[in-house]
Structure formats: structure tokens, C-alpha cells
Amino acid sequence: MHKTIKRGINLMAVTCSIFLTACGNDPASSTTTMDSTENAVTQDSVISYDISLVDNKKDPTCGMPVTAGISDTANYDNKVLGFCAAGCKEEFLKNPKVNIAAAEMK
């Protein structure tokens, strides 16, 4: 196999591993999604929400893009914020006024 193709495959594998393990997300656990009609599809105990349901572009605590996955939400200042993990939501709620700027609102 060509060296460039091997490097590309290795890079994709590392990148996927990082996204799956970031902020406590377990790559072995399956996810639940919520579609635009707000119907949840449940698999195991992990819940993930559709990005169209939140008003932020990034997790305001850790900076992860919401496109990588949303496992928890919170209402703040008449906005729905998405978080990559419950721990990030808990940290945000300790001092939301300081952390809201990092959310990059839509």
C-alpha cells in the first residue's frame, strides 16, 4: 500500500479515537439521537441531541464543536446550550456568565 494512503488511514483512526474519547465519551457505548421533531431514539444509556436543537456552535466549557456530539443540554438566558458531556454542563453551571462567551452562539 502506498505510504500516503497508510498515513491517511492512521491519521483518520487517531482522529476518530480522539473524538470518541473526548470529555468522557466512551467509544464502546452507543448513542441516542434526537431528531428535529424532538423524538428520542434510545440505545443504551447515552443520549445525543441533534445540533439543530441548540443555539451554540461550541461546548462553552471545553470548546468542542457541537457537531462532534451533544450528550447534555441546559437552558441559559433563553437559549438552549449543548454540551459534549454532563461534566462540561456541570462546570458551565458553576459560573455561566464567565463561560458563555466560549459558546459561539449561532
Written as tens digits, the pLDDT of the chain (106 aa) is 555 555 645 555 544 444 444 555 544 433 333 444 344 444 455 566 888 999 999 999 999 999 999 999 999 999 999 999 999 999 999 999 999 989 999 9
Q: Cα(40)–Cα(45) distance, rounded to whole angstroms?
A: 12
User: Model pTM?
Assistant: 0.57
* CB of 83 closer than 8 Å to CB of 57: no
What stretch of H or E contains 40? strand 40-41
Beta strands at 72-76 and 40-41: parallel, antiparallel or unpaired: unpaired
